[in-house]
Structure 1
Amino acid sequence: MNVTKYEQETIILFNEQEAAATIYTYNTGLRRTLISLCESHPAQVRQTEDNGIGALTFELPKKWVKVSPPRALSEAQKKVLEDMNRKNRERRQK
């Protein structure tokens, strides 16, 4: 069964009473991260389901679920990063 990109959802569920959150996802990077957490923190994170067509479901502490905006860089920080990138490109070209 083929699942369209639109249907490949990530759903994060939790309620105010329980301490656990459930994450259902098709996202490869997130699945990889959650599988790694299952291995490194088996008491807190566990895979609960595999739908057989690409999605996995995990349970973890809801305190671990975070939403954070991207870091805002100052002009000085941007300049330092640009210089580092330029030096790395020059070094690779040698």
Structure 2
Amino acid sequence: MGLTKYEQETIILYNEKEATASVYTHNTGLQNTLRGLCESHPAQVRQTDNNRHGGLSFELPKKWIKITPPRVLSEAQKKVLEEMNRKNQQRRQ
């Protein structure tokens, strides 16, 4: 029997003493990102567990854990981006 969407968690744990964080996740996109980091940065990132129900655990430097709020654009910036998008769409046609 599989886990419900509610039970498919992502948990990030770290403490103030150690330099590493532990990430447990069922999120496929995050798993793929972390697997890629295991390959590109094997000295810093490693997979530590596979629970056989879709959850994977990884260990990585805790300074890599970031919380980033969404970017807030001014009206002028929005207009510039809209114009760039319009030009790109015209160029593709």
Answer whether TM exceeds 0.5 for this pair.
Answer: yes
Map 1:35-46 onto structure 2 (within 5 A).
35-46=35-46
Equivalent-residue separation in structure 2 for 1:50 and 1:14 (angstroms): 19
Superposition deviation, residue 62 in structure 1: 0.6
User: What is the aligned residue count?
Assistant: 93
Q: Residue in 1 aligned with 2:50? A: 50
Equivalent-residue separation in structure 2 for 1:83 and 1:58 (angstroms): 42
SS of 1:37's equivalent in the other structure is helix
Residue by residue, what CA displacement relative to the aligned partner does 1:35-71 show, whole Å, maximum 9, x if unpaired? 1100000000000011112111000011111111111
Instruction: Output the amino acid matched with 1:30.
Output: L
Q: Residue in 1 aligned with 2:79? A: 79
Q: Residue in 1 aligned with 2:65? A: 65
Coordinate RMSD, CA, aligned = 1.3
TM-score computed with the length of structure 2 as normaliser: 0.90
Identity across aligned pairs (percent)?
A: 72
Where does structure 2 lack aligned partners over 5 or more consecutive residues? Answer: none
Q: Residue in 1 aligned with 2:88? A: 88
SS of 1:6's equivalent in the other structure is coil
Task: Tell me which moved more, 82-91 or 62-71.
Answer: 82-91
SS of 1:73's equivalent in the other structure is coil
Instruction: Output the amino acid matched with 1:14.
Output: Y
